[in-house]
Amino acid sequence: MSSRSANAGYDRHITIFSPEGRLFQVEYAFKAISNAGLTSVGVRGKDSVVIVTQKKVPDKLIDASTVTHIFRITPHIGCVMTGLDPDGRNQVMRARQEAAEFKYKNGYEIAPDMLAKRMANINQVYTQKAFMRPLGVSMILIGWDDERGPQLYKTDPAGYFAGYRATAAGAKHQEAFNYLEKKLKSDEPANVEDTVEMAVATLSSVLAANFKAQDLEIAVVSRDNPTFRVLSTEEIDSELTRIAEKD
């Protein structure tokens, strides 16, 4: 019996397990993230946290300034969405809503770990109900916590979330994990510059590409400036020049 006929019918519904105990629709959501063709990397340093992703403008007629995968959620928390673009925007909208409701009810900003947990819980509900589908998107969340310092979290379509020293999502994410594991055997990056450098170097090594400023999007949160900040093309260019000169 072919594996296709063995799986027959079990990938038609989100809520039905196959005899091997798998939920195929959730697995397909993970494939959608890899098939989107973008790679994102997040790295946490001692006093800062950085996200880097590729910037691909699919059409020459599109205004490049309107294409982004990095979003601010609260003044101190932001994220990079890897996977299906419309699903990503939907999840960002929901994250902003959750963060705003939390602040309204409690009178202070939501912490990055609480927001990651909440978004993961919402994703998990999508795997239980037949009238929903899992979102084909992975959220890498960064932020500053007054008690814990720089924070890096990742959520996935199955509803899992965890805090990371460094992580990646999208195409070639496994290669990025391997690279980061080797680099982070020693200590975490000491400052913002080193953290940015490690994130860019990871992406550059995994994709075997030398990036120009317009090929990347970078966002930073640090102790000196705990606001979520997306770097401009000029700032990215100067960072790339600094890294090239260092090499």
Q: How confident is the model at residue 185 (pLDDT cuts 50, 70, 90)?
A: confident
Q: For residue 5, is pLDDT > 60? A: no
Q: What is the pLDDT of residues 78-137, one digit of tens each?
A: 999 999 999 999 999 999 999 999 999 999 999 999 999 999 999 999 999 888 899 999
Q: Residue 150 corresponds to which tokens in the numbers above?
A: 């720089």
Q: What is the pLDDT of residues 227-240, one digit of tens each?
A: 999 999 999 999 99
Determine the pLDDT at residue 158: 95
Determine the pLDDT at residue 54: 95
- Closest by Cα among 116, 157, 142 to 41: 142
Bridging pattern class, strands 229-230 and 48-54: unpaired
The three-state secondary structure class of 20 is: coil
Determine the pLDDT at residue 1: 42
The whole-chain average pLDDT of the chain stands at 92
* CA distance linking residue 38 with residue 173, whole number of Å: 10
Q: Residue 7 corresponds to which tokens in the numbers above?
A: 């799986």
Q: For residue 178, is pLDDT > 80? A: yes
Average the pLDDT over 11-15 and give the result: 78
Q: For residue 50, is pLDDT > 60? A: yes
Length of the chain (residues):
247
Q: What is the pLDDT of residues 130-173, one digit of tens each?
A: 888 999 999 999 999 999 999 999 999 999 999 999 999 999 99
Q: For residue 16, is pLDDT > 80? A: yes
Q: How confident is the model at residue 2 (pLDDT cuts 50, 70, 90)?
A: very low
Greater confidence (187 vs 17) lies with 17
Contact 176, 18 (CB under 8 A): no
Q: For residue 18, is pLDDT > 60? A: yes
Burial call 106-141: b when 16+ CB within 10 Å, e when fewer: eeebbbbbebbebbbebbbebbeeeeebbbbbbbbb
User: Read out DSSP for 125-187?
Assistant: HHTT-TT----SEEEEEEEEETTTEEEEEEE-TTS-EEE-SEEEEETTHHHHHHHHHHHTTSP
Contact 190, 45 (CB under 8 A): yes
* CA distance linking residue 106 with residue 89, whole number of Å: 26
Residue 236's Cβ-count burial label (10 Å; 0-12, 13-18, 19+) is buried
Q: How confident is the model at residue 246 (pLDDT cuts 50, 70, 90)?
A: confident
- DSSP conformation class of 75: T
- DSSP conformation class of 213: G
Contact 153, 141 (CB under 8 A): yes
Determine the pLDDT at residue 7: 61
Q: For residue 76, is pLDDT > 70? A: yes
Question: What totals of helices (H) and strands (E) does the chain contain, helices first?
Answer: 7, 10
- Closest by Cα among 136, 144, 100, 145 to 118: 100
- Closest by Cα among 91, 229, 80, 236 to 169: 80
